[in-house]
Chain A
Amino acid sequence: DTAVSQTPKYLVTQMGNDKSIKCEQNLGHDTMYWYKQDSKKFLKIMFSYNNKELIINETVPNRFSPKSPDKAHLNLHINSLELGDSAVYFCASSLLTRTDEQYFGPGTRLTVT
């Protein structure tokens, strides 16, 4: 029944490693997103992905790359992890229009040591 799921829930890794976070939604939504929540609880959009169109927040380093094998999945791959990447990453999905509710996943807590 879970609408938006993410794996793993927790991820601890060392600087310089490459890691991926997976996201799946079973709501039939057209658009998926990745958000980053930092230690001060600021929540910031990273990417929006709709029908193979990727819209990137220009402040996101190119070490971050979203990959969408199909409409129900949007994975986040991070290369050369840095200490500052430690955060909670949320996946979300919605229908197309900007008035639609976004459904969030439970979050993945990434800790880079």
Chain B
Amino acid sequence: AQRVTQPEKLLSVFKGAPVELKCNYSYSGSPELFWYVQYSRQRLQLLLRHISRESIKGFTADLNKGETSFHLKKPFAQEEDSAMYYCALGDNAGNMLTFGGGTRLMVKP
């Protein structure tokens, strides 16, 4: 069965500090991985997907198949990055997403 694990429920950093939100997955096939973000009082939205290999709002994530990880990184955190971040794995059947438990990122001034 597929599984997504985000070991940290809360990550608190100061503005300007580097950020790494961890995500590990378990999946027997070829994984499709995403990071979704939910800002306060806003709907859940896509931040980035591994297939695009892009940087969004300064965030990047690299798929490491050997370590089955897809950690989200940003070199210098901003206060507006404070939000709930979810790592998600797309499966072959029905295009359903399996979400990790989420990590709340708090960036302090």
Contacts and interface: CB of A to CB of B under 8 A. Distances in A.
A82 B28 CA distance: 35
Interface size class of B (residues with CB under 8 A): 20 to 34
Nearest to A107: B43
A31 B43 contact: no
A41 B25 CA distance: 19
Nearest to B95: A98
Interface string A38-67: 001111110010100101010000000000
B97 interface: yes
B54 to A, nearest CB: 12
B49 A99 contact: yes
A42 B104 CA distance: 12
B94 A42 contact: no
Interface residues of A, number: 30
B96 A43 contact: no
Contacts of A31: 94-95
Given A43-B102, A48-B95, A94-B95, A101 B90 contact: no
A89 interface: no
Contacts of A83: none
Contacts of A50: 94-95
Nearest to B90: A98
